[in-house]
């Protein structure tokens, strides 16, 4: 694959990425575009999707967008069908859409719990199911879901988030066993604290809960990380690209940390 602009759906593999308008999703889209993939982009913001698509095309690859709320199974099916119709069958699925959410559990609104679980966990089932049903032949090679180190251990004041990400890892491990005979790898990537809009929101929430300003909250968080810093979206995208590469064909059913040493499990 060369990633040139004149490639068509018969010669260029397709990556489908949810939550592709910003942060890790956008970084993964650009990284896979540089590897020569056409990229299907899903998110709720058309403006952000258009920005990512423009960058993908500038990198020399084809891009298609579908505005979609991944919490809706019907909307997901329509969006995946539209992407496949335009670009071709999906080779790499990156389940990235997600949100934070939590607080003091006894005071958490029921609607917030449902929204976090719907966005972080149920959506992965909807999108993965849609891709498996929409694809024909043996095009699908890998499914990569963005989980979290919070999916391996409890995170204080983040019960909804941590529970949903534990579910992502469980889904990944089970699906990996199911799809292994077909040669499809299924893995999760587990970032720690990442410098994204979501990471900034989490930092502000901790500042409020701890009764400190945001800069003090940042220092407290970075002190927990052995490398002493936030992970960058591009670093997570490199892990995604590796898991999508031929060199990772023997890796499946794994949840791989990229967290600066925050988790060593």
Contact 101/78 with Cβ under 8 angstroms? no
Give catalytic status of residue 126 as yes or no: no
CA atoms within 13 A on the CB side of 155: 26
Catalytic residue among 37, 126, 157, 161: 161
Which of the residues are catalytic?
A: 161
């Amino acid at each position: 694959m060369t990633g040139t602009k004149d490639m068509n759906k018969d010669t260029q593999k397709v990556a489908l990425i949810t939550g592709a308008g910003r942060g890790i999703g956008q970084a993964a889209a650009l990284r896979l575009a540089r590897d020569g993939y056409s990229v299907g982009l899903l998110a709720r913001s058309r403006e952000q999707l258009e920005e990512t698509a423009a960058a993908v095309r500038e990198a020399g690859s084809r891009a298609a967008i579908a505005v979609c709320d991944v919490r809706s199974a019907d909307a997901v099916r329509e969006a995946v069908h539209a992407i496949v119709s335009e670009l071709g069958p999906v080779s790499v699925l990156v389940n990235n859409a997600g949100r934070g959410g939590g607080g003091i559990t006894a005071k958490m609104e029921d609607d917030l719990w449902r929204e976090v679980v719907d966005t972080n966990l149920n959506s992965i089932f909807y999108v993965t199911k849609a891709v498996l049903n929409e694809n024909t032949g043996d095009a699908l090679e890998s499914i990569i879901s963005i989980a979290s180190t919070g999916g391996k251990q409890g995170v204080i004041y983040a019960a909804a988030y941590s529970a949903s990400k534990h579910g992502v890892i469980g889904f990944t491990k089970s699906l990996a066993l199911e799809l292994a005979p077909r040669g499809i790898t299924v893995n999760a990537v587990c970032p720690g604290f990442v410098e994204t809009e979501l990471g900034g929101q989490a930092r502000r929430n901790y500042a409020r809960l701890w009764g400190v300003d945001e800069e003090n909250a940042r220092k407290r968080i970075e002190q927990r990380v052995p490398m002493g810093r936030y992970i960058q979206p591009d670093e997570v995208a490199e892990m995604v690209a590796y898991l999508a590469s031929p060199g990772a064909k023997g890796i499946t059913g794994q949840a791989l940390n990229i967290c600066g040493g925050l988790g060593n499990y």
